Amino acid sequence: MSGNRDYRGIDLFRIAAAFLVVAIHTSPLASYSATADFILTREIARVAVPFFFMTTGFFVLGSRERTLSFLKKTAVIYALSILLYLPVNVYAGHLDGLTIAGLFTQLFFEGTFYHLWYLPAALLGVPIASLLLKKLGARAALAISALLYCAGLLGDSYYGLIDGVPGIGPFYDALLSIMGHARNGLFYAPVFLLLGSRLRDRRPGGKFSAAGLILSGALLIGEGLALRSMELQLHDSMYIFLPAVMYFLFELLSSIRGSCPRWAANFSLLVYILHPAIIIVVRGAARLLGLWGPLVENSIGHYLAVCALSALSSAAILPLFGLLFFPRQGPRSRAWLELDSSALRHNYRALSELLPPAGRLMCVLKADAYGLGAKGAVPALSAEGASLWAAATAEEGKMLRKYGAKGLILILGRTPVSDIAVLRRYRLTQTVVSLEYARELASARRRVDVQIKLDTGMHRLGIDWMDIDSIDAVFSTPFLRVTGMYTHLASSENLNPSDADFTREQSERFFAAAETLRSRGRDVGMLHTQSSYGLLNYPELRCDCARTGIALCGVKSSEGDSTARWPGLRPVLSLRARVAEVRTVPPGEGVGYDRAYVTRRETRLAAIPVGYADGIFRTANGAHALVNGKAAPIAGRICMDQLLLDITDCGEVRPGDIVTFIGRDGSAAISAEELASQCGTITNELFSRLGSRLPRIWI
């Protein structure tokens, strides 16, 4: 039910599907052509409900927590829907003479009002699909659900094949007297739920999906018309080709990525629930206003009136509905990252001052801006005039462009030629690491801006600085426009004489190669050698730009690092969480997994809902957090989602109090370098492994 903002195609089609359901119940083309209306409402529109099931399977199945949450919310929505339509059922006489068996059918299969059957089908189908998935695995579960669907076909569109057949016909008649329809949570829902779940782990197709959709859609329409002409249908909800249509349709929709408003899913659900009541309202208003002809007898007018009023009603109720059933968790309710945009902007200015007058900073925002979140970092740096950027992959470069990065975006890693369209569409500059790779890029016969990386001693990527002929050949490679060259300094973070000499030697090698190329008439373009430590320790290297990453974050890689200059850089990132629970444990008790921590005194422990899935390394030996401005040691093993702190000496602590793992609390502070050291790593790794479920809050 809830939307996912990364799947624009799925979320937007929810709205279309809701209005297709409206079409089923209003027959928009009935005034003009019975056959056209049949194709629209009894075939094309039949994709709507399976789509809802596949969406549920895609986002819900496979997670016990999400499944239980979905079932609880759906049960409440179903109960409220029953109450909403109870007066309608009473007025229409649907409850007159209702038996216990009839009530069972209404509640568990029919939905107490003809269009609400999706809700009980979901409440039954999701547990069935989950059980099949857990016990049998994905393939067997899908096979069993397909068999159930085939069995359901004989009680729906293919009923004429078994009607009157001894044994089979009476069996289905008895079954349908209990279930009402075969399109329910047993026969109908599981196959679409499991198809949705299966597609979650598959790479979406492109042209193949579209071709498959067109072919299977044509076969579905042909199937429906044939069944109609042969009068085999008892109902018209289930077709042989419907699962194939849904597979290709959903595969195509899931390939359309991008942001979508959060309200799309809830809006579509409200349209689905409310539109039958709106049909009653439109008919009543048409009588009172003398507009029965245009609003009811004219099928298109009737459909449009119901759609418009359903949309307006849903939009009016949407805020309350979302608040009741899909409340948004506050970004500071569990654990979060605080990012100081003023500190980031200060660091950009301070580092820029280390450059020669014409020099510029290249902001390296790989790994989602070193964990800071590129979506917030790009606008902050752009406000300072940043126009040079770098990322590790083409996908990262694409996201920088989408977040608003203007100017040059250099891709530091090797991009497959198959992704050259991404380089061109988002105007990315690709690094060339060898002559062979340059020719491989050129084989695509599409113009690309490139910069050449030279290997001057790092021996990781790049063309050997002495292989001038190969470097020169890149300049003349067709379809490639060389805009610069660079190298990477292997030991610039060290200031000891040996490493300092090697760093300067690398620089001399690089500029010697550049000068030789100039003598051959080549325009070498932008030249750069320095990363963060190269700029901090060797600012005298006169380059056109410096590639800064970790320094922009306002931290050093390691706690003990010395730098020739440190221009007042300020930490950008703080990591905080809230206390979940507090308890007192007597002395001599083992705490946590393996009882690795034994209390030496009566100890007060606070459970904190963060763990190594959030980026607090399991190896954080001797680490502590700040609570009430005092150090609280980590007690025992760090779990995936939580850890324990010894808060005995931290004063009064209650659930909801803030805990600081990186950052300042009162007069006390924990640096990122300190936590990284306790984790046995560097800040670069610590930051880049901060979990995606931590909200990034820019202040």
pLDDT of 85 reads 86
pLDDT digits (tens, 9 = 90+) for 237-254: 999 999 999 999 999 998
3-state SS class at 55: helix
As annotated, the residues of the chain forming the CATH 3.20.20.10 domain(s) are: 337-553
Instruction: Tell me which of 118, 159, 366, 597 is the catalytic residue.
Output: 366
pLDDT digits (tens, 9 = 90+) for 174-211: 998 888 889 999 999 999 999 999 887 665 556 688 89
Distance CA 260, CA 358 (A): 42
pLDDT of 322 reads 67
Distance CA 133, CA 200 (A): 14
pLDDT of 328 reads 56
pLDDT digits (tens, 9 = 90+) for 653-693: 888 899 999 999 989 999 999 999 999 999 999 999 998 89
Band (pLDDT 50/70/90 cuts) for residue 101 is: confident
Distance CA 493, CA 581 (A): 43
Which residues, including other chains, have CB under 8 Å from residue 224's CB and lie 6 or more apart? 38, 39, 42, 43, 157, 236, 239
| Residue range 620-649: mean pLDDT, rounded | 93
Read off the pTM: 0.59
Amino acid, single-letter form, for residue 548: T
Band (pLDDT 50/70/90 cuts) for residue 4 is: very low
For the purposes of burial, counting CB atoms within 10 Å of the CB of 69, is it exposed (0-12), middle (13-18) or buried (19 or more)?
A: middle
Mean pLDDT of the chain: 91
pLDDT at 460 over 70: yes
> How large is the angle between the packed helices 118-136 and 189-200, nearest 10 degrees?
60
- Taking alpha carbons only, the member of 510, 514, 554 closest to residue 530 is 510
| Residue range 599-607: mean pLDDT, rounded | 94
> How large is the angle between the packed helices 48-59 and 118-136, nearest 10 degrees?
40
Q: CA 472: distance to chain centroid? A: 43
**Tokens 């590129």 label which residue?**
374
Band (pLDDT 50/70/90 cuts) for residue 2 is: very low
> What's domain 337-553's superfamily in CATH?
Alanine racemase (3.20.20.10)
- Taking alpha carbons only, the member of 684, 458, 668, 661 closest to residue 559 is 684
Range with the poorest average pLDDT among 270-284, 322-336, 665-679: 322-336
As annotated, the residues of the chain forming the CATH 2.40.37.10 domain(s) are: 573-670
pLDDT of 661 reads 96
**Tokens 């203007």 label which residue?**
406
Band (pLDDT 50/70/90 cuts) for residue 3 is: very low
pLDDT of 1 reads 44
Range with the poorest average pLDDT among 44-58, 85-99, 362-376, 464-478: 85-99
Distance CA 617, CA 347 (A): 27
Of residues 97 and 366, the one with the higher pLDDT is 366
Phi, psi of 680 (to 5 degrees): 75, 30
pLDDT of 329 reads 60
| Residue range 213-226: mean pLDDT, rounded | 95
pLDDT at 473 over 70: yes
Helical H segments across 231-362, by residue range: 242-254, 263-289, 292, 299-325, 341-352
Phi, psi of 395 (to 5 degrees): -65, -40
Q: CA 316: distance to chain centroid? A: 28
pLDDT at 313 over 60: yes
399 neighbors 378 (Cβ within 8 angstroms): no
pLDDT of 108 reads 79
* Catalytic (active site) residue 158: no
* Catalytic (active site) residue 366: yes
The CA-to-CA distance between both ends of the chain, in Å, stands at: 32
pLDDT digits (tens, 9 = 90+) for 530-559: 999 999 999 888 899 999 999 999 999 998
541 neighbors 529 (Cβ within 8 angstroms): yes
pLDDT digits (tens, 9 = 90+) for 79-93: 888 888 888 777 767
- Taking alpha carbons only, the member of 670, 691, 554 closest to residue 617 is 691
Q: Which helix (H) or strand (E) holds 90?
A: helix 64-92
Architecture category of domain 573-670 in CATH: Beta Barrel (2.40)
Distance CA 530, CA 171 (A): 79
**Tokens 């209390």 label which residue?**
599
Could you please report the per-residue DSSP string of 489-553?
Answer: -SSTT--SHHHHHHHHHHHHHHHHHHHHHHHTT----EEE---HHHHHH-TTS--SEEEESGGGG
Instruction: Tell me which of 32, 91, 114, 593 is the catalytic residue.
Output: 593
Burial 147-159 (b: 16+ CB within 10 A, else e): ebbeebbbbbbbb
Q: How far is CA 136 from CA 67, 130, 132, 426, in A?
A: 18, 10, 6, 44
pLDDT of 203 reads 57
Range with the poorest average pLDDT among 156-165, 315-324, 582-591: 315-324
